[in-house]
Amino acid sequence: MLGASGALACEIRLLEHRSGAWLQSIALGSARHIDLTYLHSVTKTPVRETLALDAHGFTQQRIEFFEQGPGLPTEALAGERFVRLADRFVYDNMQRPLALLVMRVDPAQRQTLETGATAFSLTRWGAKALQLQAHECD
């Protein structure tokens, strides 16, 4: 996708993971971060992950959740910050690189990709594995 200057613009490409079939591209403009929100599969409570994008892919920067559950972080790594607030847990200052982001989505978990004020349902294609790729996000 071309930006206003004629240069390629940063976008997220959503693919069906097994076949590699293109599903959708989401232009990010000048934004270089996204939020992934979902209901945890075991605790059924909301989770929000913030990821930065660059030429190397994604970097997990922050995760907020209301209840500990399988797969969620249990301690901060060096340089990270863990805060337990009255109503939730927050891991911040994370710098966890993800060159490839594959998610198993299920309509019951209501996975959503948010870019600023716009939210995109990741479950519109049903229960399947999706691959998210950062493209032209220098």
Establish if 4 belongs to a structural domain.
Answer: no
With H, G, I as helix, E, B as strand and everything else as coil, classify residue 108: helix
Count of Cβ atoms closer than 10 Å to residue 116 Cβ: 11
Q: Does residue 100 carry a pLDDT above 90?
A: no
Task: With beta carbons less than 8 A apart as the criterion, state whether 14 and 122 touch.
Answer: yes
Q: What percentage of the chain carries pLDDT values higher than 70?
A: 94
The structural domain count of the chain equals 1
For the question of whether the overall pTM of this predicted structure is more than 0.85, the answer is: yes
5 occurs within a structural domain: no
At residue 71 the predicted structure's pLDDT band, cuts being 50, 70 and 90, is confident
Report if residue 78 sits inside a domain.
Answer: yes
Domain residues for 103?
Answer: 10-135
Residue 2 domain-assigned (yes or no): no
* Residue type (1 letter), 21: A
Give a yes or no: residue 3 inside a domain.
no
Q: Please, which pLDDT band fits residue 125 given cuts at 50, 70 and 90?
A: very high
Separation in Å, CA 12 to CA 22, 36, 46, 129: 11, 12, 23, 16
| Whole-number pLDDT of residue 8 | 60
| pLDDT of 88 above 90 | yes
